[in-house]
Amino acid sequence: MSVRIMQGDCRDLMPQHGPFDMIVADPPYGDTSLEWDERVENWHHLAVQCLKPTGSIWVFGSLRYFMAEGRHFEAAGLRYAQEIVWEKHNGSGFHADRFKRVHELAVQWYRQDAAWGEVYNEVQKTNDATARTVRRKKRPTHTGHIEAGHYVSEDGGPRIMRSVIYARSCHGRAIHPTEKPVDLLETLIRTSCPAGGLVGDFFAGSGAAGEAAIMTGRRYVGTELDLRYAAAAQGRLASILPLGAAA
C-alpha cells in the first residue's frame, strides 16, 4: 500500500503527486487570533488541477469560513455538492458565542466541468433503520390447550446514512489541536474514493486521514507544513503499516 506524508507547503508539493481520486482538506479556518490559524491562499486552484474528473474534494470548516471562502472555491472551478455536520461529544466556543459549539461542517465540492452523475460517490448506509414490526403468534403446543400469544418484534435493517454524523472528538488524545476522528474520515473516504484509489490530503496535521485511508484500503499522499506535526504523522502511519508498505 502506498502511503506517504511530506513536510512542506501543499501548494508546492501536491500537484506533483496527482491525479487524486479524492482530496480531503482541513485548512486553517481563520476564525481565531491563534498564530497558526491563518487562511491559506490559492490552494483551491491547485487542488482542482490535480483532481480527477470523477473526483471530489471534502473540506472541513466553519460556516463563517465557507461564507468567506465560497467565492474562491467557485473561482477555482469547483461546484458545491453537499455537506455533512460533524456532531461532537465535546466542543468549544468563542467569547461572543451564546451556544456551545459542538459541530463542524464538511462540504463536498466537485469540478465544474464534470457531471454530478459521473462523480464517484458510494452511498453509505447504517443498520439502525426500524423495520415494519413483525408479530407472529406462536402455535399452541397441544390441541385444545390455549396459551398466551407469543409476539416477536424485529427491528433493524439498512438505511442511507444521515447528514448529521456523531463522532467523539479527539480531546485528550489528539496529536494536532484540530485533529479529526478517524472513523469520520473513513466514512468520507469510503463515500468518495474507490477501493485502491488515491487520497490527497492537503493539510495533513496529525495524519488522521492517512490512518483512515489505510483502514479502508486506499492509497494516500499528504503534506504538512509544520515540521513537528509532519514528523508525528509519519510516525503514526509507520506504526500501523506493514514493513515496507510505505511509498
**Per-domain residue ranges of the chain:** 3-124+161-240, 127-160
Distance CA 210, CA 218 (A): 9
pLDDT number for residue 134: 52
Top-confidence residue, 247 or 79? 79
List CB contacts of 47: < 8 A, sequence separation 6 or more: 14, 23, 25, 57, 76, 200, 202
The values of phi and psi at residue 237, to 5°, are -70, -35
Asked whether the predicted pLDDT for residue 138 surpasses 70, the reply is no
Class of domain 3-124+161-240: alpha beta
Kindly state the average pLDDT of the residues 176-181.
82
Cell of 232: 508525528
pLDDT number for residue 131: 58
Asked whether the predicted pLDDT for residue 28 surpasses 80, the reply is yes
pLDDT number for residue 32: 77
Kindly state the average pLDDT of the residues 175-189.
89
CA 190 to chain centre: 9
pLDDT number for residue 244: 46
Distance CA 163, CA 193 (A): 18
Asked whether the predicted pLDDT for residue 39 surpasses 80, the reply is yes
Asked whether the predicted pLDDT for residue 196 surpasses 90, the reply is yes
H or E segment to which residue 70 belongs: helix 63-75
Q: What is the pTM of this model?
A: 0.85
Residue 151 pLDDT class (50, 70, 90 cuts): very low
